[in-house]
Amino acid sequence: MTRPPHLAKEMALFLDFDGTLVELAHTPGAVAVSDQLIPTLQEVQDHLDGALAVVSGRDVRDIDRFLDPLTLPAAGLHGLQRRLTVGGELEAAKVWPGVAELRQDILLSGILTDGVNLEDKGSALCVHYRAAPDREEEVRARVVEMTARFPSLHAIFGNMVVEAKPTAEDKGTAVRRFLETPAFKGRLPVFIGDDVTDEDGIAAVQALGGYGIKVGAQDSAAFFRLPTVKDVHDWLAQANDIVSLENQRLRSQHDAP
């Protein structure tokens, strides 16, 4: 396993949420945010002069609730929804053709039983089977079959979830949009994520001269890896150590005769 370099001030840092900043849970609402995560993210944001964004499959408003009082730049629904600056306006994701019809197909399909449930994101639909892992093959096949009816949509496989979403946006396009804004432009882009859907973000930063960091042991094109969510937290916390050391150095210089 190749561990990543230390967090550096010249980075533009893009973070997935579930499985990267928080441990996965049986349902999206059941995740727990550690006591130190929010202050650590605040320190990282300060250290990077604002070049920190969360890029997730969740709705941005959901991320805000978990990270309150932080309102970081964020992309939700795999890039369909964006807030490009701190305190900026949240761009609402439009509802694409076929989503309403596919939702009805899924509700009537009979697969939403025995631990399989539907998460309706408005512009995308997620069928979770974390509570029924033995049904993975069945659920994946049925959602792919139903989604194929709608040319503007495609199915992607995540960690114990199948998501049907528009083809026009992904985490890679979200990263590229951020890198056009003043806070992120000209920096070394780094993307950290754990899931298949994060590979688009990883590919985007590596094509632009940066690097990806894969969380966990799944196959990935990322140049570096971190084993667990805790390791991600420890890597991010380096910003606190770096800032503290720099402050000590400056104080020593100031106090020197």
pTM for the whole structure: 0.87
Domain assignment of residue 38, given as a range: 11-92+169-255
Q: What pLDDT digit, counting tens, does each position of 99-109 carry?
A: 999 999 999 99
- DSSP character for 55? E
Query: Residue ranges of the alpha helices (H) in 29-90?
Result: 37-47, 60-67
Give me the phi and psi of 140, to 5 degrees please: -60, -45
Based on the fold, state whether residues 63 and 135 are members of the same structural domain. no
Provide the number of structural domains found in the chain: 2
d(CA 97, CA 89): 25
Confidence label for 236 from pLDDT (cuts 50, 70 and 90): very high
Catalytic residue annotation: 16
Based on the fold, state whether residues 17 and 85 are members of the same structural domain. yes
d(CA 192, CA 224): 9
Based on the fold, state whether residues 29 and 77 are members of the same structural domain. yes
Residue 250: its pLDDT value, please? 44
Based on the fold, state whether residues 105 and 215 are members of the same structural domain. no
% of the chain beyond a pLDDT of 90: 83
Q: What pLDDT digit, counting tens, does each position of 10-20 carry?
A: 999 999 999 99
Specify the CATH number for the domain of residue 26. Answer: 3.40.50.1000
Q: Which amino acid is at 224?
A: F
Based on the fold, state whether residues 78 and 192 are members of the same structural domain. yes
Averaged pLDDT, 236-240: 83
